Amino acid sequence: DRYNVAVVGATGAVGQKIIETLEKRNFPVGELKLLASARSAGQQVQFQGRTYTVEEALPEAFEGIDFALFSAGGSISEKLAPAAVERGAVVIDNTSAFRMVPEVPLVVPEVNPHMIGQHQGIIANPNCSTIQMLVALKPLYDAYGIDRIIVSTYQAVSGAGQNAINDLLDQTRAILNGEQPEPKVLPVGSLPKKHQQAFNVIPQIDVFTDNGFTKEEMKMVNETRKIFGDPDIQVTPTTVRVPVLYGHSESVYVELKNSFDLEEVVQLLQGAPGVKVIDNPEAQEYPMAVTAEGSYDTFVGRIRRDLFHPRGLNMWIVSDNVLKGAAWNAVQIAEYMVKTR
């Protein structure tokens, strides 16, 4: 069986990786529709040895589509996802538009695949920082329970889209040439004030909310609770942008509900789906952004007992934010649906 697939935002940082991932996984694509803004219409893209032409994303484009993978921003999803569902497509949405809608499953296949079957047309992909954290915490959650998570992120600019990637490269070149760059995109594309990202660390991702946390941080709080189905779990995030192109890193401190054995923790992580443990301090081995770049896995290292809290555990979690954090998680959901239908 073959499936007709639409990629909305096909020219973007995530869209391009979705196309690449469909090809790499040999997903049974019948017809492929590559959709973007009118600016990109006519652009040509190679897929499985054929040339496809990018079209403007319009409601009619979803006629006959089985899977529509969206990554063109929240407002495009709000506008076009219902049009795709009306035409019989299953939408897998990478934006935050529908994540917290109660009827919409918010899915990480390693964590809550059982939610996929409950969809009513739309399945949401969680935020990239949430996905990799939960892939790593799932086996510990199941074995010991989790009371609280304190997490600081070191996030790549690709999470803010292709323009942010290009701007970091431009800024870096300008500074190395002795020029003063004019930052154009970060921290938040839609806000007028910009900060230099090259050779700099910015403690703001997305806009601030009234409680002093940013929207990105509140996504980590609310999505973690929804995915684990646990409204009591405490999450304290600080999300930070670093001058890295691909790969989010996270310093994670968890307080487990029950006492744990460190060796058992490592074994559980080693056996967990989607997880690779790299943890050998003596040999200076630990995951880094460059370790994760291009991989579907979530890497865990620096696993150590807290110095003070008897049920406290520290670790370092790294994954490719545009793959497991977006494109691969979306394709993985589609693969799951194909396999279980």
Of residues 45, 5, 53, 54, the one with CA closest to residue 25: 5
Phi-psi region of 239 (alpha: psi -120 to 50; beta: other; left: phi over 0): beta
- Three-state DSSP at 289 gives helix
Separation between Cα atoms, residue 74 and residue 249, nearest integer Å: 24
Pick 183 or 287: Cβ nearer ligand A2P:
183
Site stretch for ligand A2P (CB under 6 A), options 32-40, 128-136, 174-182, 269-277 = 32-40
Separation between Cα atoms, residue 140 and residue 303, nearest integer Å: 12
Pick 31 or 78: Cβ nearer ligand A2P:
78
- Report the nearest approach of ligand A2P to the CB of residue 171 (Å): 17
- Report the nearest approach of ligand A2P to the CB of residue 69 (Å): 12
Site stretch for ligand A2P (CB under 6 A), options 158-166, 230-238, 254-262, 324-332 = 158-166
Pick 146 or 244: Cβ nearer ligand A2P:
244
Q: Show the site string, 270-309: x = touches ligand A2P by CB under 6 A, - = not.
A: ----------------------------------------
Given 19, 36, 90, 323, the residue binding ligand A2P (CB under 6 A): 36
Residue listed under structure tokens 């649906």: 337
- Report the nearest approach of ligand A2P to the CB of residue 173 (Å): 20
Work out the number of other CB atoms within 10 angstroms of the CB of residue 78: 13
Q: Show the site string, 71-110: x = touches ligand A2P by CB under 6 A, - = not.
A: -xx--x----------------------------------
Catalytic residue numbers read 128, 248
325 belongs to the binding site for ligand A2P (CB under 6 A): no
Residue 220: DSSP 8-state: H
Site stretch for ligand A2P (CB under 6 A), options 35-43, 289-297, 298-306, 323-331 = 35-43
131 belongs to the binding site for ligand A2P (CB under 6 A): no
Site stretch for ligand A2P (CB under 6 A), options 33-41, 179-187, 202-210, 309-317 = 33-41
Q: What DSSP line would sit under 119-187, residue for residue?
A: -SSEEEPPPHHHHHHHHHHHHHHHHH-EEEEEEEEEB-GGGG-HHHHHHHHHHHHHHHTT------S-S
Phi, psi of 273 (to 5 degrees): -65, 135
Given 4, 163, 166, 236, the residue binding ligand A2P (CB under 6 A): 163
Q: Do 198 and 181 form a contact (C-beta atoms < 8 A)?
A: yes
- Nearest residue to ligand A2P on Cβ basis: 12
Separation between Cα atoms, residue 138 and residue 99, nearest integer Å: 19
Q: Do 156 and 132 form a contact (C-beta atoms < 8 A)?
A: no
Given 12, 187, 287, 312, the residue binding ligand A2P (CB under 6 A): 12
Q: Do 258 and 95 form a contact (C-beta atoms < 8 A)?
A: no
- Report the nearest approach of ligand A2P to the CB of residue 99 (Å): 17
Interface residues with ligand A2P (CB under 6 A) are 9-15, 36-37, 39-40, 57, 72-73, 76, 161-163
